[in-house]
Amino acid sequence: MEATLAATRLPPHDPRTPALSVVDMHTGGEPLRIVHAGCPEVAGPTLLAKRRYMRQHLDYVRRRLVFEPRGHRDMYGAVLVRSELPDAHLGVLFLHNEGYSSMCGHAVLALGRFALDFGLVPAPPQGVREAQVNIHCPCGLVAAFVACEGGRSCGPVRFHSVPAFVLAADLTVDVPGHGKVVMDIAYGGAFYAFVSAEKLGLDVCSAKTRDLVEAASTVTEAVKAQFKISHPESEDLGFLYGTILTDGKDAYSEEPTTNICVFADEQVDRSPTGSGVTARIALQYHKGLLQLNQTRAFKSSATGSVFTGRAVREATCGDFKAVIVEVAGQAHYTGTASLTVEDDDPLRDGFLLK
């Protein structure tokens, strides 16, 4: 009994500030901290309005979840909220070191498992080996399909994306230190610049992570300064999330193609990046390098973890020709925690070193 009480008792904390109950997971090495309880209500009639409200009024929650001393500059978070969409099982806001994303594929893969295991969706009938979880992301409704047995998740997860499209192909950007560089801008729930690391004098498979981060960040800032990013359906989605450096192997192959994603404030994705895979599949399909239902494997240069992706059907987004992309990967649980605050702590809302 004493051991049980010790395990559940919270340390001294400010009673006016509820503890944040979290479940930690990772997908291909990329962390996800899911707020299970304790977050104040996020107001707003739509998910995008909730995203704006949280940025304006509850940003301390993001900092306490993501920043040191409870997290680190590459931590990623998810706050579950109610969705206004009748078909959604849950809504989610994605949190990172700079703010709030519109889409996160590695998080969707993890949240599919979490939603089933924690009873946010009904367990499928006996004998059914896959459960569907409809997750309302800021970019739109995403359907996750969770392998399960006996009502519990037991393997990989796949999801079907929002319409993914190419905003600009073969765009020439003047990148400081590298001259004029040809790249692509594509959308997979978030916008990314895609460029072969070789064009920047780097090998994505062997270069130091610091060098890749600096090069990718330089590209991101150059694109932001020289090219206007806009989404045909929502101003909230019209921003460049980051840059993905690739090995340049865009033509179809059964061998994995390697990339690394640097997003937000030089945050490095440890996974192959689910929304990046989505956008890269759309880009390869747009260029005629990939057919519908051809599966490609994408490898993270950071951890070696692998996602797969394929374009499952054509779609549209505004006037853009688009595709719905299926991305698959494996998420794992890593623990639980109760994050508390003491009222006299000068670092209560966290900090980052750079």
Q: Encoding tokens for residue 301? A: 């240069």
DSSP string computed for 222-283: HHHHH-----SS-GGG-SEEEEEEE-S--S--SS-EEEEEEETTTEE-SS--HHHHHHHHHH
| Active-site amino acid positions | 104
Residue 197: exposed, middle, or buried by beta-carbon count in 10 A (0-12, 13-18, 19+)?
A: buried
CB 167 within 8 A of CB 181: no
Q: Specify the residue for token string 């729930």.
A: 189
